[in-house]
Amino acid sequence: MVRKRKPRRVSAGELEILQTLWRKGEVTLSEAHRALGRKIGYTTVQTRLNRLVDKGLARRSTDRPARYSAAVSQREISAGQLDLLLERVSGGRVVPLVAHLVEDRSLSPEEIEQLKKLIDEAEKNVPQ
């Protein structure tokens, strides 16, 4: 069964902020700014946090100072980003992307086993 979900568009800067929220949990704007660990404008961090809230990807408390937390899981965002990548690079076709990844890298025995399990599961879900 193919699950069609609308990928959530997240900029690289927004993703960086989300990663901070996933790592730190609930943070204030100041804490998020410090946690990035690089030179970035305070108001830039504020803008990105507010965009994430507007998109429904983060929550803002009514406390003062406001505290921000992720409203989506890392898995949800990763899935959406991977869906976008798949559509862009191979027109939504899985095999060319997987073939490139498998041919271009050395896979560990554990990764090969995981891929085999995924294929087994996919075969079980093929409509008869």
- Segment 79-117, tens digit of pLDDT: 888 888 888 888 989 998 888 888 888 889 999 999 999
Amino acid at 52: L
pLDDT given for residue 1 in this prediction:
41
- Range of the structural domain that residue 120 is part of: 93-128
Rounded to two decimals, what is the model's pTM? 0.72
pLDDT given for residue 127 in this prediction:
85
Task: Give the model's confidence band at 6: pLDDT under 50 very low, under 70 low, under 90 confident, else very high.
Answer: low
| Residue matched to tokens 């730190």 | 24
Mention every residue, 6+ apart, whose C-beta is less than 8 A from residue 92: 86
Question: Is 103 buried (19+), middle (13-18) or exposed (0-12) by CB count in 10 A?
Answer: exposed
- 102 and 67 in a common domain: no
- 101 and 70 in a common domain: no
Q: How far is CA 10 from CA 33, 65, 102, 117, in A?
A: 19, 25, 27, 30
Examine residue 4 and state whether it is found in any structural domain, yes or no.
Answer: no
